[in-house]
Structure 1
Amino acid sequence: MSTMLFWNCRGARKREAALYLKEMVREHDVCFIGLLETKMTNIGRREVDYLIENDWEFFHVPAAGLSGGVLVLWDKKSVSFVVKDTSSQVIIGDLLVPSLGSWKIATVYGSQCCKERENLWRQLEEGMKNPNPSIIDGDFNCILNKEEKRGGQRFLFFKGPRDMKQFMTNSDFHDVRSIGPWFTWCNNKEGATQIWERLDRCLVNSVALQKIPSALTRHLVRVAPDHSPIVFKLDERIHSKMKSIKFEDTWRSYLAARSIVYHSWRKNDFGEESAILQR
């Protein structure tokens, strides 16, 4: 078991949340879960047993009133997790996975206020400063460019996205590629008032990318709430048949070909040189 699941469930006490969560855990062989916006001020063993199973340990940051709340759960039969730092926006800890070693994990539920998210970036900069492979996952309540939004007001690269980009650059975190629905959140409205955004994502540091160069995030289909669950495998492997690369001389007759090759070759990539060349 090496899969992590993160989901803004919009209320962990809902019956459909428990049913869907158990189904996702079985289907994707999940060992670690981050639930966001639990809307619970406290949670005990009984609620966790109902939500998942009694083989799971947990740690909860309570909601403030009817909003917020971050809950992490881990399957004690397969992994161990030690909480290192917490706040209303994040739980940071060390996840030990047999055969895969120790990973620094941050489960994020970013504030909708970009001013309050400044505290999140400071806490992550300090808490994720280590030589281990590190992963930050969850609902950031922030998008980075106009391609991550459809509908609503026009995207502007102001303070919120700038702060997040600056954190990623300063702390060496990278947005990994994803499969599944591109947008992870919808306001569930119709027509001209409908808005889609990519609020949920997975960020990894260079050490993690070196361990899993084919890393990707899977965005699962939304069922009841407005957020898509996302899963991330710590031992992701791409199984594909090897194909020979053939160069057609006629490609040189296209003026755009040189620019395409040049810019593709300059992209940052990780892994063995043969794998980089193939990509």
Structure 2
Amino acid sequence: MAGCGNADKWEEAKDSGWNFFQVPSIRLSGGIMVLWKSDLATFRVFESSSQFIIGEIDVQNKVSWRIATIYGSTDVYKRRKLWEKLQLYSTKDKVLIIGGDLNCLPNKDDKRGGKIFVYSLGTKEMDYFLVSNDLHEVMGTGPKYTWCNNKTGADKILERLDRCYLNSVVLSSPHRLVVRKLARVSSDHCPIILNMLNYNVALKKTIKCEDVWISNPASIAVVKKAWSRKSMGDFSQILNYKL
């Protein structure tokens, strides 16, 4: 997600092999842009508004994912339209990625400074949307808070507004995904990157547990070793990996 800049620069980017779709900014606020390498992928836009760009990306005819890039409204009633639109495009047949500035906090641990966190109507509606569509946040590395009001002392406010969610279809995918939160430079937000980890699972014959193995004390050590492997992601991803 990015604010829309100089049109000539984006035309230059297009000429250099990049393509893009944008929702223009209004004065100094808003604006969403999706960019993709034309020789690597195609992106088909389903629908867009000031709060989202929803589409489907096909990467070299190998991966087809549905992606929603978000810039949620700070107004709870306008943000309700965002959940309604995302609901229409929710899918259980392929990987669904929802990421960006949701402008809504799920719990008090995502905020430091300012007014006391309240489990408001906006938070309830967001929670209901995530649960009903089987969406799970992708955990990652980097700063805990992704937004700052750029003030100091007692007036400083930090919040984790920028997030990335995936549906459970990713569990059956061979890809492992992790979010990296980068440092703030010229913005009040931290950029977030969803990385696809490069790893190849060696093809192995199917291992079926024989009852006789259990009688061997060494089998306990094998299970412990597998269970102690370090892995990243939400609880369901980690469990699937260990199993």
CA contact (8 A) 2:101 2:163 kept: yes
Q: TM-score, normalised by structure 1?
A: 0.70
- Give the fraction of aligned pairs with identical amino acids, expressed as a percent: 39
What amino acid maps onto 2:169 in structure 1?
V
Aligned-partner Cα distance in 1 for 2:193–2:171 = 16
Deviation of 1:59 after TM superposition, in Å, equals 0.7
Aligned-partner Cα distance in 1 for 2:82–2:138 = 20
Give the RMSD, CA atoms, in angstroms.
Answer: 2.6
Partner of 1:191: 153
- Of residues 59, 63, 77, the one that matches 2:21 is 59
Partner of 1:138: 100
**Change over 3 Å in CA distance of 1:212–1:158 after alignment to 2:** farther
CA contact (8 A) 1:215 1:236 kept: no
What amino acid maps onto 1:196 in structure 2?
L
- Structure of higher CA gyration radius: 2
Aligned-partner Cα distance in 1 for 2:238–2:179 = 18
Aligned-partner Cα distance in 1 for 2:70–2:122 = 15
Q: Any idea what the Cα deviations from partners look like across 1:14-44, whole Å, max 9, x if unmatched?
A: xxxxxxxxxxxxxxxxxxxx32x43x6xx64
Deviation of 1:134 after TM superposition, in Å, equals 0.7
Aligned-partner Cα distance in 2 for 1:198–1:79 = 30
How many residues in Structure 1 have an aligned counterpart in Structure 2?
A: 215
Q: Greater CA deviation, 151-160 or 96-105?
A: 96-105
Q: Any idea what the Cα deviations from partners look like across 1:234-255, whole Å, max 9, x if unmatched?
A: 346599xxx9847xxxxxxxxx
Partner of 2:237: 270
What amino acid maps onto 2:242 in structure 1?
I
CA contact (8 A) 2:98 2:164 kept: yes
Structure 2: gaps of 5 or more residues: 202-221, 226-233
Aligned-partner Cα distance in 2 for 1:172–1:276 = 21
Aligned-partner Cα distance in 2 for 1:114–1:103 = 28
Matching of residue 128 in structure 1 with residue 90 in structure 2: yes
Structure 1: gaps of 5 or more residues: 1-33, 247-266
**Change over 3 Å in CA distance of 1:155–1:213 after alignment to 2:** farther
**Change over 3 Å in CA distance of 1:182–1:166 after alignment to 2:** same
Partner of 1:71: 33
Partner of 1:151: 113
Deviation of 1:151 after TM superposition, in Å, equals 0.6
Aligned-partner Cα distance in 1 for 2:172–2:238 = 6
Q: Greater CA deviation, 204-213 or 192-201?
A: 204-213
Q: Any idea what the Cα deviations from partners look like across 1:58-112, whole Å, max 9, x if unmatched?
A: 1111223442111111111211111111111000111111364100000000001
**Change over 3 Å in CA distance of 1:96–1:129 after alignment to 2:** same
Matching of residue 226 in structure 1 with residue 188 in structure 2: yes
Q: TM-score, normalised by structure 2?
A: 0.79
What amino acid maps onto 1:137 in structure 2?
G
Aligned-partner Cα distance in 2 for 1:72–1:108 = 11
Q: Any idea what the Cα deviations from partners look like across 1:210-247, whole Å, max 9, x if unmatched?
A: 326743211011111111111112346599xxx9847x
- Of residues 48, 64, 68, the one that matches 1:106 is 68
CA contact (8 A) 1:186 1:227 kept: yes
Matching of residue 96 in structure 1 with residue 63 in structure 2: no
Aligned-partner Cα distance in 1 for 2:9–2:151 = 32
